[in-house]
Structure 1
């Protein structure tokens, strides 16, 4: 075996088109004085409804609700390279939630990354994206959160390593990586394109996952949307700027829209973190907004490639042996759904032939899908999705490497062989 520096870890077994993967708030701040702005019942009801929609677009529930817990009560542990953070209670509870926050307080958090008392919020809360959200939309989200049931539960303090538990250090981080300012429409583009850009870059905070981060936890802006490893999850959000990955320039707008709205399309399906995003957020968005996002995604220009993580590579001779072994394993275990020619039976069973996510430099996500299996999200438009069974118990490390090698190098695919050591490393990777 030898080591080779590769672009980044693959997406999912099929292309995940956007990355609204949830991130977290600062948490742990005590809340003080403030009150809501009065409105007529009809106006307030409309504002709350709008805010609920926008909160869905921002996928707030994913981070601020523990599975089986009270809605927006926080407490979700979020592992980071710097320690564990716990999401805060954002219900309108006066003691532990945002019950005493004003609209101004809430907008300041969204727009400037500062809490009610002026303290700096950790950038796990995506204020670097939310700063682009308009004041009107921020006020609507605030109105909605004020309408949900209050939960009297304190937020757990973060468990961050020194010196990352020192908030004053965030001043330097913000100087390097944060630019405050609402989204400014591009007058040379259509209204639909600008709406899509606003959602992708703002509430959607897609760049939080689709852009690599450096050792300081800051985005590599020179490679924005060029793909990135989601820390500690061992999933890769693919590049949106390259058609060799999840760049969508050669996709039909309908296929992109179907993928975002339902989790499946004739070009592929989403698994892993992106499946959660579709389930929690994107399926609830209007067709107009989904089409706007698809329109914008098709036009993201090519940018610099993401930094290359280290990855094992097989020798040419061993790769040939894996390819031959993988052909039989594929015929025995995969061909029934994905077909002998790799064309699958879309949208139920996605194609593997000519699939960009299969051929990306890293095979991490295809390996994870073979090991762990998975389902696209259950959505209103696709309530009973077909899933892929796990093969971790029935296939050895070399057999998994062999079948993924075969898939990556057959039917005109131009991927490279996979190392059994990569499979071994990923057997113990977290499933979330």
Structure 2
């Protein structure tokens, strides 16, 4: 759902809310006693407001707006292993945006992954999740996007390697990895649980980050929500199916809700890509939606074993040396905020002791936090978050490996030593 202590849950959930609302016909009329009645300005205003909420829920602005650019004008580069995609203009401009799109065109893109002209859309647009969104919600988002100022800016063409620039190849990809269909409630579950499932699996597209992808760029469905390295971003979205990572089975609903809504809780804080999701999207969700998502997340089936991830290993002797070295580095640089006993001062300074995100087989996130630092998102509930300074300039690769090793193996934590080579590989990783 595809993002942390000052290492706590680094990408706990890439979620967003949508809502189950009565069917609203987007053509401007509705039926009353079998007779078409023109929608009132108040009806249209309510629909647009609802669509704005849903667009926030889906975090549309994050992908379709360049930093400092016009909202929804597109042009954001999205690096993939197959080349660079550029997001399209989705303002109501007739030439370069969706000004000439009908509500049917828009729903088809959301539901089937096909553009107005019928061409196949690349799955960087998460239509594999959006297909679950109801027609009513799609129509509301369409109405909202039609209400924003048009921007007369062309969409930049994709720069994909051969043969991936041939959209016809997507036919095979879709056959393997795409199943069209709106969300179907589970009648054995509560209304709240179903709402949370709809939010997480639909507009939220959490699986885009929290599910590993294969060499074809498709999700490993057998390991849904079991965690995955976000391609070319070098952040690890932890498993939601294992309490040894970011599994939430032993979390209180209140702590999950606080993390989603404000970015911090008594159990940890979010950084990296997940911080952006909370900042752009989740903080604007209603308390009811947040609670529903937390309710669903808490019931995701947990597995005894965390997923295996390829990681460089150190010898036992070198690991012991790193542990000793790391203890002094921690005392000099970290203990003031996180305390000598690793318990921190939550929620401002998250605990490192008994923190699953520190102990995960993948050490990517704690290494990146030591190197680059970071802040939880600024939200309405936490407008001035405490952050962590970067140590990339102050500590060598071995020193970073040492302090991360110490954190992963102290206070009852059961992590493994970290190799300086891992630190070297991540030192030049992109910050976004």
Q: TM-score, normalised by structure 1?
A: 0.92
For 1:14 and 1:96, locate their aligned partners in 2 and report how far apart those are by CA, in whole Å.
29
1:54 equivalent to 2:54? Answer yes
For 2:246 and 2:19, locate their aligned partners in 1 and report how far apart those are by CA, in whole Å.
11
For residues 384-407 of structure 1, what are the alpha-carbon distances to aligned partners after superposition, in whole Å with 9 as ceiling and x for unaligned?
A: 000000000011111100000000
- Which piece of structure 1 moves more, 9-18 or 245-254? 9-18
What is the CA distance between 1:362 and its match in structure 2?
1.4
Contact map agreement 1:2 1:313 (CA 8 A) in 2: no
Gap change, CA 1:338 and 1:304, over 3 Å in 2: closer
- Which piece of structure 1 moves more, 180-189 or 301-310? 301-310
For 1:347 and 1:411, locate their aligned partners in 2 and report how far apart those are by CA, in whole Å.
19
For 1:27 and 1:127, locate their aligned partners in 2 and report how far apart those are by CA, in whole Å.
23
Contact map agreement 2:326 2:399 (CA 8 A) in 1: yes
For residues 332-377 of structure 1, what are the alpha-carbon distances to aligned partners after superposition, in whole Å with 9 as ceiling and x for unaligned?
A: 0000000000000000000000000000001111000000000000
For 1:320 and 1:108, locate their aligned partners in 2 and report how far apart those are by CA, in whole Å.
58
For residues 72-105 of structure 1, what are the alpha-carbon distances to aligned partners after superposition, in whole Å with 9 as ceiling and x for unaligned?
A: 0000000000000000000000000000100000
For residues 184-204 of structure 1, what are the alpha-carbon distances to aligned partners after superposition, in whole Å with 9 as ceiling and x for unaligned?
A: 000110110000000000000
Partner of 1:31, secondary structure, is: strand
Gap change, CA 1:286 and 1:312, over 3 Å in 2: same
Contact map agreement 1:322 1:405 (CA 8 A) in 2: yes
What is the CA distance between 1:39 and its match in structure 2?
3.3
What is the CA distance between 1:311 and its match in structure 2?
1.9
Contact map agreement 1:35 1:101 (CA 8 A) in 2: no
Structure 2 gap ranges (5+)? none
- Which piece of structure 1 moves more, 402-411 or 15-24? 15-24
Partner of 1:256, secondary structure, is: helix
For 2:400 and 2:21, locate their aligned partners in 1 and report how far apart those are by CA, in whole Å.
27
Gap change, CA 1:354 and 1:26, over 3 Å in 2: farther
What is the CA distance between 1:422 and its match in structure 2?
0.5
Gap change, CA 1:377 and 1:7, over 3 Å in 2: closer
For 1:180 and 1:304, locate their aligned partners in 2 and report how far apart those are by CA, in whole Å.
32
What is residue 131 of structure 2 aligned with on the other side? Answer: 131
What is the CA distance between 1:18 and its match in structure 2?
15
Gap change, CA 1:29 and 1:402, over 3 Å in 2: farther
Partner of 1:36, secondary structure, is: strand
Partner of 2:377, secondary structure, is: coil
Contact map agreement 2:271 2:376 (CA 8 A) in 1: yes
Alignment of 1:252-267 (within 5 A): 252-267=252-267
For residues 298-330 of structure 1, what are the alpha-carbon distances to aligned partners after superposition, in whole Å with 9 as ceiling and x for unaligned?
A: 001136978744321110000000000100000
What is residue 394 of structure 1 aligned with on the other side? Answer: 394
1:155 equivalent to 2:155? Answer yes
For 2:251 and 2:169, locate their aligned partners in 1 and report how far apart those are by CA, in whole Å.
43
Partner of 2:121, secondary structure, is: coil
For 1:68 and 1:21, locate their aligned partners in 2 and report how far apart those are by CA, in whole Å.
34
Counting matched residue pairs gives 432
For residues 132-168 of structure 1, what are the alpha-carbon distances to aligned partners after superposition, in whole Å with 9 as ceiling and x for unaligned?
A: 0000000000000000000000000000001100001
Aligned CA RMSD, in angstroms, stands at: 6.5
For 1:182 and 1:32, locate their aligned partners in 2 and report how far apart those are by CA, in whole Å.
26
Gap change, CA 1:23 and 1:51, over 3 Å in 2: closer
Partner of 1:5, secondary structure, is: coil
Contact map agreement 1:31 1:101 (CA 8 A) in 2: no
- Which piece of structure 1 moves more, 76-85 or 306-315? 306-315
For 1:203 and 1:28, locate their aligned partners in 2 and report how far apart those are by CA, in whole Å.
24
For 1:21 and 1:431, locate their aligned partners in 2 and report how far apart those are by CA, in whole Å.
38
Contact map agreement 1:225 1:241 (CA 8 A) in 2: yes
For 1:408 and 1:115, locate their aligned partners in 2 and report how far apart those are by CA, in whole Å.
47
